[in-house]
């Protein structure tokens, strides 16, 4: 009897598992819309090589087959997570002529020997330009009050030298105040100018993905308005608005007009819109760098976030569906 009961229970569990949809998501029906300007710091997963240089007549990095985009993870079998740690390991060696470098190229781990070259100032040189972090400014898109998961930017952060998405170890978002706007003009997107406080931390960063940056909001939840999450079929062409900051830390609402929807796309350009708000056009010329992540609102629902400016016509921009960001936040 026990064995039969156990088998029946097992079958019931299997049936229940089959009945659960694989794409079920648990994000809230109502979320806090952002709009606040934020400072962003991402720490690389490994020390990122962003270039090489010659030392005298030699190029030790190229001789070791190290390339831009590789990520150093250990020196002489000692794990290193920052440039400072890498320099400390090298400085601890007595009269080194070479070091063993373990690095990641894509997902493959490799090891090579890097010869050190002493320059005229008796300083050992590696021939490497390296970076271990990226910082900048953007806009908070949403916070799910039930889980405190947040999303921002609506697109990935790219390391400019390599042109690759930065593979991150961790990061944080923190307080940022807009001090001015450099306006956009045709062919030349402007930008938000900002001052920030790296010690006034709002949350951590656990993911840098094609849909934005995500993490947990660790500060007290802001007193922002709750908006219903729009499904793709709820979104319409026509009037909408964006929430963003153009001065200090005041979130304001500005009108836009949605021109086209691309529901078949899973990328960041689901919504094409143009700015119609005269005050925003007069102040910024349209969309500027730093507005990425600004929530898009329509019919009292949050429908998406600003992601890109149309460079040839900065009054126009693109946005991602909010559901794409929420689904990524839960992965």
Task: Please list the active-site residues.
Answer: 155, 277, 292
Q: Are 42 and 208 in contact (CB under 8 A)?
A: yes
* Residue whose C-alpha is closest to residue 40's, from 184, 150, 139: 139
Phi, psi of 231 (to 5 degrees): -80, 160
DSSP readout, 35-103? --EEEEEEEEEEEEEEEE--BTTB-HHHHTT--TT-EEEEETTEE--SHHHHHHHHHTSSS-SEEEEEE
CA dist list (Å): 84 to 91, 116, 134, 146, 175: 10, 17, 15, 39, 26
Nearest to 142 by CA among 328, 331, 325, 327: 325
Q: State both tokens at 283.
A: 């102040």
């Amino acid at each position: 009897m026990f064995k039969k009961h156990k088998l029946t229970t097992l079958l019931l569990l299997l049936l229940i598992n089959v009945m659960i949809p694989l794409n079920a998501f648990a994000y809230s029906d109502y979320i806090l819309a952002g709009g606040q300007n934020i400072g962003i710091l991402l720490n690389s997963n490994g020390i990122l090589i962003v270039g090489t240089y010659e030392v005298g007549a030699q190029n030790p990095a190229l001789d070791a087959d190290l390339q831009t985009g590789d990520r150093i993870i250990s020196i002489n079998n000692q794990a290193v997570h920052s440039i400072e740690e890498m320099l400390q390991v090298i400085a601890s060696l007595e009269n080194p002529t070479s070091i063993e470098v373990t690095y990641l190229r894509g997902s493959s781990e490799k090891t090579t020997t890097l010869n050190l070259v002493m320059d005229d100032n008796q300083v050992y040189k590696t021939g490497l330009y390296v970076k271990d972090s990226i910082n900048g400014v953007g806009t908070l898109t949403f916070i799910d009050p039930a889980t405190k998961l947040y999303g921002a930017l609506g697109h990935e952060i790219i390391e400019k030298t390599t042109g690759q998405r930065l593979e991150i170890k961790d990061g944080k978002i923190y307080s940022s105040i807009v001090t001015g706007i450099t306006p956009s003009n045709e062919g030349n997107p402007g930008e938000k100018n900002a001052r920030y406080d790296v010690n006034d931390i709002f949350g951590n960063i656990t993911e840098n993905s094609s849909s934005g940056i995500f993490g947990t909001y660790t500060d007290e939840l802001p007193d922002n308005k709750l908006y219903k999450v729009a499904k793709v079929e709820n979104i319409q062409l026509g009037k909408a608005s964006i929430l963003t900051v153009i001065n200090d830390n005041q979130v304001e609402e500005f009108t836009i007009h949605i021109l086209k929807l691309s529901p078949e796309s899973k990328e960041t350009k689901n919504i094409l819109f143009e700015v119609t708000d005269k005050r925003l056009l007069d102040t910024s010329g349209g969309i500027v760098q730093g507005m990425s992540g600004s929530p898009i609102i329509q019919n009292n629902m949050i429908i998406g976030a600003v992601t890109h400016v149309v460079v040839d016509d900065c009054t126009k921009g693109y946005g991602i569906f909010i559901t794409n960001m929420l689904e990524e936040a839960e992965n």
